[in-house]
Structure 1
């Protein structure tokens, strides 16, 4: 979830229409945000709905070419545009020029996540203890173990979004599962375990203003409520502001402690962070929606945080450490393994906030043609 924005940049219908420049996605933030700075100009990706109706009609190629030549000429800066129909390229301008993709980067994160993890894969968040509870009592700590699910959220957090219902993993459901396991008291603390990934909270390349604008919450293998400690209660009430949790695993443990208290479970010690024992007993588990829905949510909401968490999960799934550097290396490798046209491509993050990302219009076209409108990627495009 993270900093959810409305992506008005991508559309996939029978005719795929693509154009992007240095800041390719035109994004309308839910709160005012500074425009992406830098010397490169912003050029929108075009939705098929925004292109003149003559594309949808059976018109001569020369009329189409003339119309699109005029469209390209009106764009500022370097632009690429490709129009394809049923896999046939009918117009192209600068297809091999590698440009900054902005939020289009999420397309490539989505492709890699579906390929590496699989469309039916679900991310698991577990609650474990050193031993089974005795007479309802957990003798020591109760560990909340993050499994790389970016969508675990409470009902109160989900209520802040205008689009409903939200695709999410039910944090209340996890608390219910702990109660169903017979737990009535925890003699120790709820301890958040984020050890699946590293503890680097943001991509190093991101400018400070993106972090200040809460374009993403702190990145962690253990995420509840996008790792914001405070947030507005609804779309109509803008206060309090989003406040990133200073320690995401402690924040997640605190949220679960509160949910358990609401269900009559007492926890003796304050929330903490740590690593669960390898031989711990699993008491409860909650699974994310299938990866096909996670990816669709990421694209539809232009969800920066989901993208960055998936980058690290892709790394882990491919046997590498859960870091951004390892994840983007794996994404680049997957794109090449799929035979996609990756010449000139640079993958620097999963969300597109990094300005060193580079991709061509031809690669975007190939990704969309490969999936088609009925694919999880197609389902996520506005």
Structure 2
């Protein structure tokens, strides 16, 4: 007889399996210890058992079901409790306590937050550090900031003997509730902040846009001219690669755009591209550099000419034009012929044909900080400017970030 698998069991099965693995060693030790006693009991009761009437099939079934439910409840009780994500809280707390190192692999994983075989595991969320250093307990049970000496004892060994941080290093810890400086190491020395400014960019972008905000690239059809405009949404992670890794895909956008055009009976179009989301010059003051592409609202794979996803790499000279040419080729693969693309601007009358969107801003910020991604940093600074009504150029982006801090 086939018994259908219930949906609640399908949901709970991974948890029960992990719980069973956790208690299996205990059950094995119990069985080994109880074995001799069970054998003696069996020999003593054997004559009586021969006089007992053989149970019926339904009694076997009911007994087995009851024992199974009891065992499952016991296993879950021993292995639990569980948090809202389905992770056993003991496992989560132990992972934090072990302080495993690692990080998200944005280059080879299955998504912006995924990991792949052989890549570092995401580091567990650590508990509050400063609250664990001591300090007094404020009203309501909240720990106040630790004392100066507590911080010095913790941070001095990390900062003063850290050749990996360079010859000159500085740090400051400030209690935001009072403005009091709790710790300082060369904090008055004028130093170039370099990529630590990405932390400020992350805070500004998340504050202005929210962690769920996504960057959208779209195609629009001009009703008057029949022109198709590829509108850049300021997403440097837009990818033209076959394996999109959960990023916004130019290939998907081409497929969806071609399908929308065919529904209108259109198989030949004039193609243009729109980069007007950003203002000002595209070339960074540092000039041509393998750490940063030209800053434009339309590009694919950060303008990289190799298969890299982070770090220095040769870049195309005109990322927007290159992305548009690639898009024209993808349209042709789906039966729509496009002219050689040129720059333009989508009007307010243009009808959207198709869209693709980036991972959420929280994932983009994580990638930016993990990889020290200059292209993403410049993009998020400009999106902060757009969201706060400032010009989306180098000066406006810097002012927007500073204003949010």
What interval of TM-score do these two structures reach, taking the shorter chain for normalisation?
Answer: 0.5 to 0.7
1:292 deviates by: 1.1
1:220 offset after TM fit, Å?
A: 0.4
Once residues 311 and 174 of structure 1 are traced to their aligned partners in structure 2, the CA distance between those partners, rounded to angstroms, is 25
Alpha-carbon deviations, 1:80-102, whole Å to 9, x = none?
245799x9998542345453222
1:304-344 Cα offsets, whole Å, 9 max, x none, are 10111111121111112210100110111110xxxxxxxxx
1:153 aligns with 2:223: no
Structure 2 residue 253 is matched with structure 1 residue 192: no
Any conservation in 2 of the 1:157–1:225 contact (CA below 8 Å)? no
Alignment of 1:320-335 (within 5 A): 320-335=390-405
Offset at residue 78 of structure 1 (A): 3.6
Q: Per-residue deviation at 1:66?
A: 6.2
Contact 1:156 1:233 in 2 (8 A): no
Alignment partner, residue 271 of structure 1: 341
Structure 1 residue 127, shift from structure 2 partner: 0.3
Give the Cα separation in 2 of the matches to 1:305 and 1:157: 20
Higher strand share: 1
Could you tell which deviates more after superposition, 322-331 or 191-200? 191-200
- Separation in 2 of the partners of 1:294 and 1:70? 32
Contact 2:284 2:294 in 1 (8 A): no
1:124 corresponds to 2:216: yes
Q: 1:82 to 1:321 in 2, by over 3 A?
A: closer
After TM superposition, give the deviation of residue 271 of structure 1 in Å: 1.8
Contact (CA 8 Å) 1:191, 1:274: kept in 2 or not? Answer: yes
Larger radius of gyration: 2
SS of corresponding position for 1:292: helix
CA distance 1:252–1:89, change in 2 (3 Å): same
Residue 304 (structure 1) aligned to one of 352, 369, 374:
374
Separation in structure 2 between the aligned mates of residue 227 and residue 260 of structure 1, nearest angstrom: 20
Deviations 1:280-306 (A, max 9, x none): 111111111111111111111211101
Q: TM-score, normalised by structure 2?
A: 0.55
- Conserved 8 A contact 1:185-1:266: no
Could you tell me how far 1:61 is from its partner in structure 2?
9.2
User: What is the CA distance between 1:233 and its match in structure 2?
Assistant: 7.9
Q: Distance in 2 between matches of 1:233 and 1:310?
A: 21
Count of aligned positions: 263
Which range is displaced more, 123-132 or 93-102?
93-102
Unaligned runs of 5+ in 2: 1-95, 98-106, 108-122, 124-131, 135-146
Q: Give 1 or 2: higher helix fraction.
A: 2
Q: Is the CA contact 2:242–2:251 (under 8 Å) kept in the aligned structure 1?
A: no
* Structure 2 CA distance for partners of 1:173 and 1:99, relative to 1, 3 Å: same
Instruction: Find the counterpart in structure 2 of residue 255 from structure 1.
Output: 326
